Amino acid sequence: MTFSFELLAQDTLTQARAGLIHTPHGDIPTPVFAPVGTQATVKTLTPADLHELGASLILANTYHLYLRPGPELIADFGGLHHFMGWDGPILTDSGGFQVFSLEGLREIDEDGVTFRSHLDGSKHRFTPEQVIAIQEKLGADIIMAFDECPSPEDRDYNIEALDRTHRWAERCRQAQQRSDQALYGIVQGGIFPDLRTQSAEFLTGLDFPGYSIGGLSVGESKADMHAILEVLHPILPAHKPRYLMGVGSPEDLFECVARGIDQFDCVLPTRIARNGAVFTPHGRVNLRNARFAADKAPIDPDCTCYTCRTFSLAYLRHLIIAKEILALRLTTIHNLHFMLDTMRRIRLSILDGSFADYKHDFLQKYQTVPEENRGKRK
């Protein structure tokens, strides 16, 4: 077995856990935040940039890579790692989230989903077996079962979709041929504790090497999200990693780590960076703001990222106003550094028993943007 999870520490005041995921492409200290590299590139960054940032896991999107450049091409290159020049761990999603988002362009049946490409309207079909075959060609270290993603507050649809997702999870388990990829089962059930319980129990019975929590951060309230995590915590096996898909914001890291989550991914830090918004210990700021026009300070004087070590707020604002491409990379570097560094500190605080204090201090300073952070999955 080339994949395993070591649970190194369990916080006493919260459900926070620190661990280590072993993969064929290296170890992933957990909790971990994975930058999103939708099309086999974390937008604006090279693999060298990602190494410098200390990224230990990145995500790539099966749906996008299936359409372009195609799994056969990537397989011919020896997989995603070789294709994109990133030698660290990679996770691929199942494509389910993207396909189910194609409202009006997809049709679901018991066996799978027929959909039209958002690129050229061409017709395609995903089945559990097909999605596993694609992910085996892409060759990520961690892969996902094919799941249906209903709107989290639609109980009837969630009930109907859940059984199908469970049958698909079994078929994915059956279809898997490579032994060097860890296939995670995905817990669904919307905001409904009984459905989530049912899903977690069913999937635990299939003994996946890890469990994803899907269908959250897509419109429900934070309170609902937290409640679901609390329901799942005692059900999911402690010795398997737990991955909350598509989350989160800086404050989400704290709240969800405190509820037992080990893995995160989200386009938020990189997407808002390209709009000129950056994280600071006091919350988000937009660099377009005229108050930065002559500011000689960096984004955050305590930040050690290349952007903050090198450039003033005034220069960054100038690049943004002048529509210079470099701006996108510099803000992306800062925001990912913020997420990865915050996660490193969270992990250290779990290991030395100070997580609850760190969480309290961070959240007291950090002013959140109430609902804008949400529904940012790609």
Q: Active-site residue numbers? A: 93, 265
Residues 263-298: b if buried by 16+ CB within 10 A, e if exposed? bbbbbbbbbbbbebbbbbeeebbebeeeebeebeeb
Interaction pattern, residues 8-47, with a second copy; x per rule: CB under 8 A: -------------------------------xxx-xxxxx
Q: Does 291 bind a second copy (CB under 8 A)?
A: no
Q: What are 20's strand-pairing partners?
A: 6, 29
Q: Does 326 bind a second copy (CB under 8 A)?
A: yes
**Using CB under 8 A, which residues numbered 245 to 284 contact a second copy?**
none
CA separation for the pair 248, 168 (Å, rounded)? 27
Biggest CA–CA distance in the chain, Å, is 61
DSSP string, 24-80: TTEEEEESEEEPB-TTSS-TT--HHHHHHHT---EEE-HHHHHHTT-HHHHHHTTSH
Using the rule CB under 8 A, give the single segment among 97-105, 156-164, 320-328, 336-344 that binds a second copy: 320-328
Please, are residues 148 and 157 in contact by the beta-carbon 8 Å criterion? no
Using the rule CB under 8 A, give the single segment among 121-129, 143-151, 319-327, 348-356 that binds a second copy: 319-327
**Residue 92 tokens, joined:** 């691929």
Which of 6, 31, 34, 33 is closest to 17 using CA atoms? 31
Q: Does 69 bind a second copy (CB under 8 A)?
A: yes
Q: Does 84 bind a second copy (CB under 8 A)?
A: yes
Please, are residues 176 and 207 in contact by the beta-carbon 8 Å criterion? no
Q: Does 328 bind a second copy (CB under 8 A)?
A: yes
Q: Which position among 107, 180, 324, 352 is part of the footprint of a second copy (CB under 8 A)?
A: 324
Q: Does 288 bind a second copy (CB under 8 A)?
A: no
Using the rule CB under 8 A, give the single segment among 255-263, 279-287, 291-299, 341-349 that binds a second copy: 291-299
Please, what is the minimum distance in Å from the beta carbon of residue 171 to a second copy? 30
> In 3-state terms, what secondary structure has residue 17?
strand
> In 3-state terms, what secondary structure has residue 9?
strand
Q: Which position among 110, 290, 296, 304 is part of the footprint of a second copy (CB under 8 A)?
A: 296
Please, what is the minimum distance in Å from the beta carbon of residue 53 to a second copy? 14
Please, are residues 184 and 143 in contact by the beta-carbon 8 Å criterion? yes
Q: Does 95 bind a second copy (CB under 8 A)?
A: no
Residues near a second copy (CB under 8 A) are 39-41, 43-48, 64, 68-69, 73, 76-77, 83-85, 293-294, 296, 306, 310-312, 314-315, 318-319, 321-322, 324-326, 328-330
